[in-house]
Chains A and B, each alone.
Chain A
Amino acid sequence: MTDRLEMRAMTKKYGDFTANDKVSFSLAAGEVHAIVGENGAGKTTLMRMLYGMEQPTSGEIVLNGKLVVFRGPEDAIRNGIGMVHQHFMLFGEFSVTENIVIGYEPKQAGFFKRNDANDKVRALSEQYRIPINPQAKVASCSIGEQQRVEILKVLYQGADIIVLDEPTAVLTPLEVRDLLQTIRNLAESGKSVILITHKLQEVMEVADRITVLRGGKVTGTVSRDETNADDLARLMVGRELQELSERIPLEPLPLLQVEKLTVRDKQTLLDQVSFTVHHGEIVGIAGVSGNGQSELLQAISGLRAAQEGTVRLGGKDVTNKSVAIIRDAGLAHIPEDRYLWGTAKLSSVEENALMGYQRKPAYNRRGVVLREKFRQVVKGWVEQFAIKTGSRQLQELAGNLSGGNLQKLIVARELGHETPFLIAAEPTRGVDIGAMEYIHQALIEKRNQGDGILLVSSELSEILALSDRILVMYKGRIAGELSRLEATEEKISVIMAGGSIHGSNQRAI
Chain B
Amino acid sequence: MELFDWSLLSSTIRMVTPILLAALGGALCARVGIFNVGLEGLVLVGAFSAIVGNHFTGNLFLAVLIAALVSIVFSLLFAYMTIKLRANEIVVGVAINFLALGLTTFALRAIFGVKGAFYDKDMAGLPTVEIPIIHDIPVIGGIVSGHSPLVYFAFLAAILLYVFFYRTVTGFRVLAVGLNPVAARSIGLKVTGLQVLAIVMSGALCGIAGAQLSLGQVTMFTEGMTAGRGFIALVAMMMGQSHPLGILASSFLFGLMDALSIRLQGFSLPTQFTAMLPYVLTIAAMFFLKNKSQIGSNNQQSTR
Footprint of B on A, CB under 8 Å?
73-74, 77, 85, 88-94, 98, 102-103, 105, 107, 110-112
Q: In the docked arrangement, what's the CA distance between A89 and B187, Å? A: 8
Known interface pairs A74-B188, A103-B188; A90-B180 also in contact (CB < 8 Å): yes
- Tell me if A's interface is mostly helix, strand, loop or mixed: loop
B245 interfacial by beta-carbon distance below 8 Å = no
CB < 8 Å neighbour of B168 from A89, A91, A103, A110: A110
B176 & A77 in contact (Cβ 8 Å cutoff):
no
Nearest-neighbor residue (CB-CB) of A53 within chain B: B186
Q: In the docked arrangement, what's the CA distance between A418 and B169, Å? A: 57
User: Using a Cβ–Cβ cut-off of 8 Å, how many residues does chain B contribute to the interface with A?
Assistant: 17
Known interface pairs A91-B183, A92-B179, A93-B179; A112-B188 also in contact (CB < 8 Å): no
Distance between A216 CB and nearest chain B CB, rounded to angstroms: 26
Residues of B within 8 A of A110 (CB): 168-170
B115 interfacial by beta-carbon distance below 8 Å = no
Residues of A within 8 A of B175 (CB): 93-94
Q: In the docked arrangement, what's the CA distance between A91 and B298, Å? A: 11
A102 & B180 in contact (Cβ 8 Å cutoff):
no
Footprint of A on B, CB under 8 Å?
167-173, 175-176, 179-180, 182-183, 186-189
CB < 8 Å neighbour of B179 from A77, A91, A111, A112: A91
Nearest-neighbor residue (CB-CB) of A109 within chain B: B168
14 pairs from A and B in contact (CB 8 Å cutoff): A89-B183, A89-B187, A90-B180, A93-B179, A94-B175, A94-B176, A102-B187, A103-B173, A105-B169, A110-B169, A110-B170, A111-B169, A112-B167, A112-B168
The 5 closest A-B pairs by CB, nearest first: A89-B183, A103-B187, A89-B186, A91-B179, A112-B169
Q: In the docked arrangement, what's the CA distance between A423 and B169, Å? A: 49
CB < 8 Å neighbour of B172 from A74, A88, A102: A102
B179 & A102 in contact (Cβ 8 Å cutoff):
no
Residues of B within 8 A of A85 (CB): 186
Residues of A within 8 A of B169 (CB): 105, 107, 110-112
Q: In the docked arrangement, what's the CA distance between A93 and B298, Å? A: 11
Distance between B273 CB and nearest chain A CB, rounded to angstroms: 43
Q: In the docked arrangement, what's the CA distance between A507 and B180, Å? A: 37
Distance between B33 CB and nearest chain A CB, rounded to angstroms: 12
B172 & A105 in contact (Cβ 8 Å cutoff):
yes
Residues of A within 8 A of B186 (CB): 73, 85, 89
Residues of A within 8 A of B172 (CB): 98, 102, 105, 112
Tell me which of B169, B176, B179 has the highest count of chain A C-beta atoms within 10 A of its own C-beta. B169
Residues of B within 8 A of A73 (CB): 186, 188
A111 & B167 in contact (Cβ 8 Å cutoff):
yes
Q: In the docked arrangement, what's the CA distance between A90 and B180, Å? A: 8
Q: In the docked arrangement, what's the CA distance between A354 and B186, Å? A: 35
Q: In the docked arrangement, what's the CA distance between A73 and B185, Å? A: 10
Distance between B183 CB and nearest chain A CB, rounded to angstroms: 4
Nearest-neighbor residue (CB-CB) of A98 within chain B: B172
Distance between A146 CB and nearest chain B CB, rounded to angstroms: 12
Q: In the docked arrangement, what's the CA distance between A102 and B182, Å? A: 14
A91 & B180 in contact (Cβ 8 Å cutoff):
yes
Distance between B37 CB and nearest chain A CB, rounded to angstroms: 24
Q: In the docked arrangement, what's the CA distance between A23 and B293, Å? A: 50
Residues of A within 8 A of B171 (CB): 112
Nearest-neighbor residue (CB-CB) of A91 within chain B: B179
Distance between B88 CB and nearest chain A CB, rounded to angstroms: 16
Known interface pairs A89-B182, A89-B186, A91-B183; A102-B168 also in contact (CB < 8 Å): no
B183 & A90 in contact (Cβ 8 Å cutoff):
yes
Nearest-neighbor residue (CB-CB) of B189 within chain A: A103
Residues of A within 8 A of B170 (CB): 110
Q: In the docked arrangement, what's the CA distance between A26 and B97, Å? A: 59
Distance between A292 CB and nearest chain B CB, rounded to angstroms: 26
Distance between B293 CB and nearest chain A CB, rounded to angstroms: 15
